[in-house]
Amino acid sequence: MTPSDPTVWLFLVLVAPAAGAVLALIPLPRVSEWSARLAALVTLAAALALLAIAPSEQWGSYLGIDQLSEVFLVMVAGIYTTSTWYSRRYLRAVSHPYLGVSTYYALLAAFAFAMVATLVVSDLGLMWIGLEATTIASALLVVLERKPTSVEAAWRYTIIASAGLTIALFALILLYGATGTLNIFRLAENPPALSLPIQMAIALALVGYGTKVGLFPMHTWLPDAHSEAPSPVSAMFSGVLLPTALYAFVRVYRILPSPPVALSDLVLGFGVATALVAAFLLQRQRSFKRLLAYSSMEVMGLAVIGIAIGGVALYGALILLVAHAFAKSAAFYCAGNVLQETGTTRIEDVRNLGSRAPWTGAAWVLAAFGVTGAPPFGTFLGELLIVTGALATGNVLLAAAIVTAIAVAFLGVNSQIGRMVFGGGSFENPSSTGHRLSERGISVAYLNVGIALALGVVSLPYLTEAIRAAATLLGGSVP
């Protein structure tokens, strides 16, 4: 075995988070923390190595990767690493946590392992197991802060996401009945003929996996879980869990090389409804964490639209997902700092961050621009390509709906975060002008904002090429 052998890196990308989960259980906080950090770094290194050396590889009937899974692996490993780093600062400020430090890091690593496993398996049944395992590993993380609302959010998340996934499993049963295999590589080599069971399976998979993606109207768990979870976990939820669930759906959706119009219209309908509903709902949010959660939902809607349209829009959807993962995680790290320093998630109660916490405030403004598709972030490029793809179909109404969702979400998120950073304290809330806030741990937010920015302005080694290859693999086109 040599470093150029993909098997070594596949082994590491799977074993590192699993080992991190086990080692983190050692009841010494510093050992747990560093085990988790080391595991995250090894996972990231292995994901990057796979991206660099193995465009596509299969190991037996159950394991296999291609450029699509590699792009998602880098996202998962990247956000897992920065969340692990940010967690130290966050955990120190949580009083009376429900979980000990060791349990927290063990569950965080198990959560990452479940996502990584979802991405490196080539069997749709195992992929389903991996995605369901993310629910088990992450549900307890939501209750870290021991609030009644977090327990309720964890419950809703578990029961709604699991109910959705049982629908997805029903879809897989129908798919297996129609094709006789669940191996994605075999299905790609011999695409099944269009039939009613396959169309029904894809429609059910859309509803089932769509529940975990946060598509309207199955999204109800999303704002609760994202807002109640500790910020490093919210970053992983928004940044990589939702895209991982979308990845599982794409694997089912793309077993048909050219899905029938009725099916792509169904997917498109869910995407448009999700983007529009989320964009308008986020205007009404009073909590900055829920604001970010609805923004994630809007981006997932846009990505689904891109996948349904295909062509350059599909390429745009992939860029959007990657850039959004890094920008949104940065936004949640900033939100974590602000929450812990001010003790509130109410937008009205946070003012003047620009002078009270200038580094956090600046990072938050940049991250907000990043998540809402301001140029020159990667999200801007992704959204532009999705709109271009929509216009290329000749459907002006669709393009108008997409632009509306993007514009409304842009205004909603940036105006609210702008008020918190640049707005002065009010007469009703004199404390909002208060003391200077600690800015520990904010450097990871800058790192992630930088990656989201770089995706829009330069060609990142291996990653940009892999995104292009993944889009082509899915039948999209690259400008």
Partner 1 sequence: MLATDQVVALVGVGILLTALYLQAESFVAPLIPTIALQSLLLAVLLGWLAWTEHSVDLAVVAGVVVAIRGIGIPWVLRHQIKAFRWKVREIHAAHRVTGHALAAVALAVIAWFVFEETLGPVFPSPAYALPFVLLVQGLLMLATRSNTLVQVIGYLEEENAIVYAAAILVGGFPLLVEIVVFLDVLGVVLVGVILSIQRDVTGTLEEGQEETLSG
Q: Which residues bind partner 1 (CB under 8 A)?
A: 98, 123, 125-126, 128-129, 132-133, 135-136, 139-140, 143, 146-149, 151-156, 158-160, 162-163, 166-167, 169-170, 173-174, 176-177, 182, 196-197, 199-200, 223-224, 227-228, 284-287, 290
For residues 123 and 182, the answer to whether their CB atoms sit within 8 Å is yes
What are the Cα distances from residue 78, in Å, to 37, 361, 478? Answer: 12, 23, 25
Closer by beta carbon to partner 1, 176 or else 446: 176
For residue 71 the two structure tokens come to 């792009």
Q: How far is the CB of 300 from partner 1 (least distance, A)?
A: 19
Instruction: Count Cβ atoms below 10 Å from residue 230 Cβ, excluding itself.
Output: 27
Minimum Å distance from CB 136 to partner 1? 6
* E strand intervals along 35-102: 57-59, 63-65
- CB closer to partner 1 out of 167 and 403: 167
Least distance (Å) from partner 1 to the CB of residue 346? 9
Those residues with Cβ within 8 angstroms of residue 5's Cβ, 6 or more apart along the chain or in another chain: none
Return d(Cα 129, Cα 76) in angstroms, integer: 17
Nearer to partner 1, 223 or 389 (CB): 223
Phi, psi of 64 (to 5 degrees): 180, 150
Shortest distance in whole angstroms from residue 394 CB to partner 1: 30
What minimum distance in Å lies between the beta carbon of 347 and partner 1? 9
Question: What count of Cα atoms within 13 Å lies in the side-chain half-sphere of residue 306?
Answer: 32
Closest approach of partner 1 to the CB of residue 458, in Å = 38
Q: Work out the angle at residue 347's Cα, subtended by the Cα atoms of residues 344 and 224, and round it to the nearest 5 degrees.
A: 70
Residue type for position 158: T
| Least distance (Å) between residue 108 CB and partner 1 | 17
Query: Which residue's CB is nearer to partner 1, number 293 or number 304?
Result: 293
Which CB, 222 or 322, lies closer to partner 1? 222
Cβ closest to partner 1, residue 15 vs residue 169: 169
Between the alpha carbon of residue 281 and those of residues 156, 235, 286, the distances in Å are 19, 20, 11
CB closer to partner 1, 62 vs 355: 62
- Smallest separation (angstroms) from partner 1 to the CB of 185: 15
Tokens encoding 432: 């909002």
Nearer to partner 1, 23 or 143 (CB): 143
Contact 397, 390 (CB under 8 A): no
How wide is the angle at C-alpha 229 spanned by C-alphas 111 and 146, nearest 5°? Answer: 110
What is the nearest approach in angstroms of partner 1 to the Cβ of residue 45? 30
Preceding peptide of 192 cis, ω within 30°: no
Kindly tell me which of 30 and 146 has the beta carbon lying closer to partner 1. 146
CB distance 300 to 320 below 8 Å: no
CA-closest candidate to residue 182, choices 198, 194, 161: 198
